[in-house]
């Protein structure tokens, strides 16, 4: 019996040693082929633009190409599910915005758990938003807007880019804070929503600065306020919603980077190093600044920085979404 017991013990030790050495070897040679960066939205959108901008310098740091793939649908949950079910080897990376935090409340049958099914690379960038109105909308400033929507709430239309979109979430928070329920008009993407706002087909839209600043500067829309606590350098004359009375109103489109659960720590470290190298690249910094996109502080560009922020955001948005009954399925 002692012989067999000893044999089994040695076999277990060898097996564990083999697994450990295989994991270490995988991390040492990673990556030995191109890496895929999954974007949960269509090409040309803000998240896609950020992904394509950082993909090249990330690839230089990793020594392999980083190829952007768009896996669209269901507010980013199709892409998230794909990544959660992918092999934990670091060859499929995922970049997603705050929709990762709102999905648990928006979808009753979510096929993944943001806090259990992923490893975290780090936060990436924050994108501010602005509350816009069509050019010929009667209110000329935020105070007039508040009076107008409370008197005409059934008639006022508030566009968004569809269920789970950041524009929808911003709109929900705005209506919650104002105590009104406007007529929401969902679109399949921000592009069509913005087009109809410019054409005067809808009244209001809360959208990201990456694509709205040119229209604001050209006077093609009315601007009622910035959704972040501080004014934007690109729009210094536009007050924040906070300073106009909506104290504590803070909505920005934060982005995080993830891989599937079980990815080796050494691989996670390599991806994190590549992410930070990309965000420190001078050209990337310039391009992001031109679009008024803020690179997050180094402390946030870490696995724990993303994990803690994601947890806090899930707890922030869950009650807002459930109170509004704004479910996507």
Q: What is the tens place of the pLDDT at every residue in 35-58? A: 999 999 888 878 899 999 999 999
Q: Which of 181-185, 227-231, 289-293 has the lowest mean pLDDT?
A: 289-293
Q: Does an H or E element contain 127, and which?
A: strand 118-134
C-beta separation of 253 from 177 below 8 A: no
| 5, pLDDT greater than 80 | no
| Domain boundaries, given as residue ranges, for the chain | 34-126+253-324, 128-226
Q: What is the pLDDT averaged over residues 64-89?
A: 96
**Which residues on adjacent β-strands are paired with residue 262?**
none
| 90, pLDDT greater than 80 | yes
Does 34-126+253-324 match 128-226 in CATH topology?
A: yes
Confidence of residue 188 (pLDDT cuts 50, 70, 90): confident
Residue 245 confidence (pLDDT): 96
- C-alpha–C-alpha distance, residues 317 and 172, integer Å: 10
Q: What is the pLDDT averaged over residues 76-90?
A: 97
Where is pLDDT greater, at 305 or 293? 305
| 304, pLDDT greater than 80 | yes
Residue 2 confidence (pLDDT): 45
Residue 327 confidence (pLDDT): 83
**CA end-to-end span of the chain:** 59
Residue 143 confidence (pLDDT): 97
Summarize pLDDT for 139-176 with one digit per residue, the tens: 999 999 999 999 999 999 999 988 778 899 999 999 99
Confidence of residue 8 (pLDDT cuts 50, 70, 90): very low
Of 238, 272, 277, give the one whose Cα is nearest residue 257: 272
Where is pLDDT greater, at 289 or 282? 282
C-beta separation of 151 from 237 below 8 A: no
Q: Which of 19-23, 169-173, 230-234, 272-276 has the lowest mean pLDDT?
A: 19-23
Count, in order, helices (H) and strands (E) of the chain.
11, 10
- C-alpha–C-alpha distance, residues 244 and 217, integer Å: 21
Residue 44 confidence (pLDDT): 80
Q: What is the mean pLDDT of the chain?
A: 91
Q: Select, from the ranges 191-195, 229-233, 237-241, 292-296, the one with the highest average predicted confidence (pLDDT).
A: 237-241
C-beta separation of 248 from 242 below 8 A: yes
Place of tokens 């994990």: 307
| 85, pLDDT greater than 80 | yes
Residue 133 confidence (pLDDT): 98
Q: Does an H or E element contain 93, and which?
A: strand 92-96
| 256, pLDDT greater than 90 | yes
Residue 320 confidence (pLDDT): 87
- C-alpha–C-alpha distance, residues 65 and 60, integer Å: 7
To the nearest whole percent, how much of the chain has pLDDT over 90? 77
Place of tokens 């012989």: 3
- 34-126+253-324 homologous superfamily: Bordetella uptake gene, domain 1 (3.40.190.150)
Q: What is the CATH code for 128-226?
A: 3.40.190.10
Place of tokens 């269509």: 42
C-beta separation of 131 from 204 below 8 A: yes
Confidence of residue 27 (pLDDT cuts 50, 70, 90): low
Confidence of residue 328 (pLDDT cuts 50, 70, 90): confident
Q: Which of 23-32, 64-73, 208-217 has the lowest mean pLDDT?
A: 23-32
CA dihedral 290, 94, 124, 222 (to 10 degrees): 50
| 199, pLDDT greater than 60 | yes
Residue 26 confidence (pLDDT): 54
Q: Which two tokens stand for residue 187?
A: 């679109």
Quote the strand ranges of the chain, DSSP E. 35-39, 66-70, 92-96, 118-134, 157-160, 183-186, 204-208, 221-226, 252-260, 294-295
Residue 16 confidence (pLDDT): 46
Where is pLDDT greater, at 124 or 320? 124
């Amino acid at each position: 019996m002692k012989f067999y017991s000893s044999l089994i013990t040695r076999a277990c030790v060898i097996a564990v040693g083999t697994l450990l050495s295989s994991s270490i070897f995988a991390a040492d040679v990673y990556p030995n082929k191109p890496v895929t960066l999954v974007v949960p939205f269509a090409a040309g959108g803000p998240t896609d633009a950020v992904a394509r901008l950082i993909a090249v310098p990330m690839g230089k740091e990793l020594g392999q190409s980083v190829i952007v793939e768009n896996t669209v649908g269901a507010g980013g949950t199709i892409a998230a599910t794909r990544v959660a079910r992918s092999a934990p080897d670091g060859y499929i990376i995922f970049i997603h915005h705050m929709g990762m935090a709102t999905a648990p409340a928006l979808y009753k049958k979510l096929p993944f758990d943001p806090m259990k099914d992923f490893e975290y690379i780090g936060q990436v960038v924050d994108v501010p938003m602005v509350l816009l109105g069509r050019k010929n909308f009667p209110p000329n400033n935020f105070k007039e807007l508040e009076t107008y929507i409370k008197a005409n709430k059934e008639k006022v239309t508030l566009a968004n880019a569809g269920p789970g979109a950041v524009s929808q979430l911003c709109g929900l928070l705005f209506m919650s804070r104002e105590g009104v329920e406007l007529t929401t008009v969902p679109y399949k993407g921000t592009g069509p929503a913005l087009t109809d706002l410019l054409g005067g087909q809808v009244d209001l839209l809360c959208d990201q600065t990456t694509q709205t600043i040119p229209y604001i500067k050209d006077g093609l829309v009315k601007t009622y306020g910035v959704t972040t606590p501080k004014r934007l350098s690109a729009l210094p004359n536009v007050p924040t919603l906070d300073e106009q009375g909506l104290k504590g109103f803070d909505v920005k489109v934060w982005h995080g980077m993830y891989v599937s659960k079980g990815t080796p720590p050494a691989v996670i470290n390599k991806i994190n190093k590549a992410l930070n190298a990309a965000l420190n690249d001078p050209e990337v910094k310039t391009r992001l600044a031109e679009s008024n996109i803020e690179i997050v502080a180094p402390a946030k560009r870490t696995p724990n920085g993303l994990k803690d922020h994601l947890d806090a955001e899930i707890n922030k948005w869950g009650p807002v979404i459930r109170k509004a009954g704004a479910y996507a399925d």
